[in-house]
């Protein structure tokens, strides 16, 4: 048979090809499991059939406002039903949802609204003060719809109409159309700003669909899990879990803001089976009083957002929680690789097992490839746990590119790979472990120091909740490590010389921090430490 024989008369058509889109998950959840609870928010319960109707009403109402394909619909919302619904309603029209970081300042919000040319902004009353300032700064302010959440008792109304009234005017039978092209944009996410330079990352329907399915496969999620929204839905579209939860017809428990005691209460009340969060979320749960954790075990936890110290993973295991370490970036839809546990690890001690589990692992099943490559030659580094290269991705779960920034897009995709900027090694079993961000490596007296290695050592100290290590200018050595430390509640700050002695038992002498600063670490809303701010603070410290 020739190639032509397998192509002529066998063309793609509507019967044998459909654009991949997570919109299909919502329709199927409503048809197959109409009475299953989709969302719990306080006393409120919404089923999958109700959510399907509400999302179609939202799409219809937006259509009546003139929203269509390629228009940006922004959201400044906490983890609420409206935020979930905005992951579907705009997409039904071919519009693009832009979920905004709720901790941003007014100037940054205004920049993002203008840059994306947002036509509509949905905003929670809690954020009215900063949103009002942002709207005043916009060159072309969007139309505003208020979300009046029952859990918020204060805050002005800024918009033309309240959310429930807005969707009530829509048609619950509005015809949902899958995108003509699965490459069409579905969402816009800005990078987290740990470098001080956020960029607009564009996701497509195909990638959102595939990463939603990858979450199920790689986490071995069963049908109808109960998922607690500890992770902000605005961060990488909640790692694609608003779409994942429709695919498994699960139940989502909303949480406006993270509070360890409230997390444990909701876990008991609703039988939570799964949740996600940055290392600081898990650290706070580990450090919580034992009485808050009574009766809880077997919960599946996913950690990502920054490289977690092995001590955090060990602490979660001791609580009886099963933790899965995933790794990714905004540009790869959140989680794109994971540390897949191996059977033989079960025979190891908990500390050794936690150390293995702290690696970034291997590519998710539906992400085509992840390699550690020499950034100059784009050749793989040896699998020896020593040779350092840059983590790079290629595959369907990779962004379209940076909105309106072809130069940055071209640089990110140079050589046919997405360049993460994370430096790592590969162990003989093929598992990857980050050594540092390229900009976070400390070079002291010509020696490279991994800030993550030093942070791991510090986090094993019983008084330390979290640590961030950055370079501090030094006349003799060029740079030396400077440690910023967040203490556990009720713990006193150890003396600097005692901490240095402690570090020397875990690290080579030249890696030991010369300075320690205690206090709360500056973070993005997703839990990542803003090291660029700490580097500036380190420069201002008096000479050692």
Write the DSSP string, 305-337: SSPPPHHHHHHHHHHT-EEEEEEEEGGGTEEEE
Contacts of 421 (CB under 8 A, 6+ apart): 390, 437, 438, 439
DSSP state of 479: E
DSSP state of 291: G
State yes or no: pLDDT of 525 exceeds 70.
no
Q: Which of helix, strand or coil describes residue 437?
A: strand
Topology of the domain covering 443-540:
GMP Synthetase; Chain A, domain 3 (3.30.300)
Lowest mean pLDDT among 62-66, 325-329, 523-527: 523-527
Whether the CB-CB separation of 100 and 74 falls below 8 Å is answered with yes
State yes or no: pLDDT of 542 exceeds 90.
no
Contacts of 265 (CB under 8 A, 6+ apart): none
Q: What pLDDT is stored for residue 539 in this prediction?
A: 87
Q: Where exactly are the structural domains of the chain? A: 23-213, 258-437, 443-540
Q: What pLDDT is stored for residue 195 in this prediction?
A: 47
Class of domain 23-213: alpha beta
**Rounded to two decimals, what is the model's pTM?**
0.84
Question: Would residue 9 be called left, alpha or beta, if left means φ above 0 and alpha means ψ between -120 and 50 degrees?
Answer: left
Q: How far apart are CA 30 and CA 109, in angstroms?
A: 35
Give the tens place of pLDDT for each residue, 392-429: 999 999 999 999 999 999 999 999 999 998 889 999 99
Alpha-carbon radius of gyration of the chain: 24
Q: How far apart are CA 326 and CA 309, in angstroms?
A: 13
Whether the CB-CB separation of 472 and 290 falls below 8 Å is answered with no
* Closest to 249 measured CA to CA, from 20, 25, 23: 25
Lowest mean pLDDT among 245-259, 283-297, 329-343, 433-447: 433-447
Q: How far apart are CA 334 and CA 244, in angstroms?
A: 13
- H-helix or E-strand containing 419? strand 418-426
Give how far Cα 340 sits from Cα of 218, 356, 368, 383, Å.
Answer: 8, 10, 16, 17
Q: How far apart are CA 221 and CA 244, in angstroms?
A: 10
State the pLDDT confidence band at 305, using cuts at 50, 70 and 90. Answer: low
Topology of the domain covering 258-437:
Rossmann fold (3.40.50)
User: With 0-12 CB in 10 A as exposed, 13-18 as middle and 19+ as buried, what is 228?
Assistant: buried
**Taking residues 283-307, what's their average pLDDT?**
87
Lowest mean pLDDT among 96-100, 149-153, 159-163, 205-209: 149-153
Lowest mean pLDDT among 53-67, 234-248, 356-370, 523-537: 523-537
**Taking residues 487-491, what's their average pLDDT?**
88
Give the tens place of pLDDT for each residue, 306-325: 656 777 778 888 889 998 99
* Closest to 399 measured CA to CA, from 312, 334, 319: 334
Whether the CB-CB separation of 170 and 161 falls below 8 Å is answered with no
Q: What end-to-end distance do the CA atoms of the chain give, in Å? A: 77
Contacts 24+ apart (CB under 8 A), 149-154: 149/78, 149/80, 149/82, 149/124, 149/125, 149/256, 150/42, 150/44, 151/41, 151/42, 151/256, 152/124, 152/125, 152/126, 154/125, 154/126
Q: What pLDDT is stored for residue 194 in this prediction?
A: 46
- Phi, psi of 259, rounded to the nearest 5 degrees: -145, 115
Strand order in the sheet with 389-394: 369-373, 389-394, 418-426, 432-437
Q: What pLDDT is stored for residue 88 in this prediction?
A: 98
State yes or no: pLDDT of 280 exceeds 90.
no
- Phi, psi of 209, rounded to the nearest 5 degrees: -60, -50
State the pLDDT confidence band at 544, using cuts at 50, 70 and 90. Answer: low
Q: How far apart are CA 176 and CA 290, in angstroms?
A: 48
**Taking residues 40-67, what's their average pLDDT?**
98
More confident residue, 177 or 110: 110
Q: How far apart are CA 174 and CA 91, in angstroms?
A: 13
Query: Beta 389-394 vs 369-373: how paired, if at all?
Result: antiparallel
**Taking residues 473-488, what's their average pLDDT?**
85
CB atoms within 10 A of CB 353: 18
Same fold, 23-213 and 258-437: yes
More confident residue, 388 or 143: 143
- H-helix or E-strand containing 190? strand 185-190
State yes or no: pLDDT of 241 exceeds 70.
yes
Whether the CB-CB separation of 209 and 21 falls below 8 Å is answered with yes
Whether the CB-CB separation of 412 and 342 falls below 8 Å is answered with no
Whether the CB-CB separation of 468 and 442 falls below 8 Å is answered with no
State yes or no: pLDDT of 290 exceeds 80.
yes
**Taking residues 276-292, what's their average pLDDT?**
89
């Amino acid at each position: 048979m020739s190639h032509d024989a397998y192509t002529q008369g066998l063309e793609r058509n509507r019967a044998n090809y459909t654009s991949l889109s997570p919109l299909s998950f919502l329709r199927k959840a409503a048809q197959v499991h109409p009475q299953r609870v989709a969302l719990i928010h306080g006393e409120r319960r919404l089923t999958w059939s109700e959510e399907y109707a509400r999302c179609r009403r939202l799409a219809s109402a937006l259509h009546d406002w003139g929203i269509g394909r390629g228009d940006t619909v922004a959201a400044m919302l906490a983890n609420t039903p409206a935020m979930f619904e905005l992951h579907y309603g705009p997409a039904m029209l071919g519009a693009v949802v832009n979920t905004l970081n709720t901790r941003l300042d007014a100037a940054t919000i205004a920049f993002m609204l203008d840059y994306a040319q947002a036509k509509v902004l949905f905003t929670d009353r809690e954020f009215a003060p900063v949103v009002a300032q942002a709207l005043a700064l916009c060159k072309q302010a969007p139309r505003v719809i208020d979300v009046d959440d029952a859990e918020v008792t204060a805050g002005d109304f800024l918009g033309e109409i309240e959310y429930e009234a807005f969707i009530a005017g829509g048609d619950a039978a509005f015809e949902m159309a899958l995108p003509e092209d699965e490459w069409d944009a579905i969402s816009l996410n800005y990078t987290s700003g740990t470098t001080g330079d956020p960029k607009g990352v564009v996701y497509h329907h195909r990638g959102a669909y595939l990463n939603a399915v990858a979450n199920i496969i790689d986490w071995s999620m069963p049908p109808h899990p109960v998922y607690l929204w500890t992770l902000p839905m605005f961060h990488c579209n909640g790692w694609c879990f608003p779409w994942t939860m429709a695919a498994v017809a699960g139940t989502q428990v909303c949480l406006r803001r993270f509070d360890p005691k409230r997390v444990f209460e909701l876990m008991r009340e609703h039988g939570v089976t799964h949740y996600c969060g940055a290392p600081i979320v898990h650290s706070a749960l580990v450090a919580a009083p034992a009485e808050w954790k009574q009766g809880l075990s077997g919960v599946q936890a996913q950690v990502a957002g920054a490289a977690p110290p092995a001590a955090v993973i060990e602490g979660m295991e001791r609580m009886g929680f099963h933790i899965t370490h995933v790794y990714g970036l905004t540009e790869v839809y959140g989680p794109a690789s994971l540390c897949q546990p191996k059977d033989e690890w079960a025979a190891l001690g908990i500390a050794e097992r936690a150390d293995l589990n702290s690696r970034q692992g291997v590519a998710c099943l539906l992400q085509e490839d992840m390699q550690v490559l020499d950034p100059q030659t784009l050749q793989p580094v040896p699998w020896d746990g020593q040779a350092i290269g840059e983590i790079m991705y290629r595959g369907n779960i990779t962004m379209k590119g940076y909105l309106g920034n072809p130069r940055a897009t071209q640089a990110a995709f140079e050589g046919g790979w997405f360049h993460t900027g994370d430096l790592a090694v590969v162990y003989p079993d093929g598992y990857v472990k980050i050594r540092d961000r390229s900009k976070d490596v400390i070079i002291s007296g010509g020696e490279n120091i991994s800030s993550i290695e030093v942070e791991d050592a510090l986090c094993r100290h019983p008084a330390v909740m979290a640590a961030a290590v950055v370079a501090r200018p030094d006349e003799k050595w060029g740079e030396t490590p400077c440690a910023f430390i967040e203490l556990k509640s009720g713990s006193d700050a150890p003396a600097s010389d005692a901490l240095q002695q402690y570090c020397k038992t875990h690290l080579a002498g030249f890696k030991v921090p010369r300075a320690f600063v205690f206090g709360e670490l500056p973070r993005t809303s997703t839990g990542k430490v803003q090291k660029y701010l700490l580097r500036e603070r380190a420069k201002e410290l008096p000479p050692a």
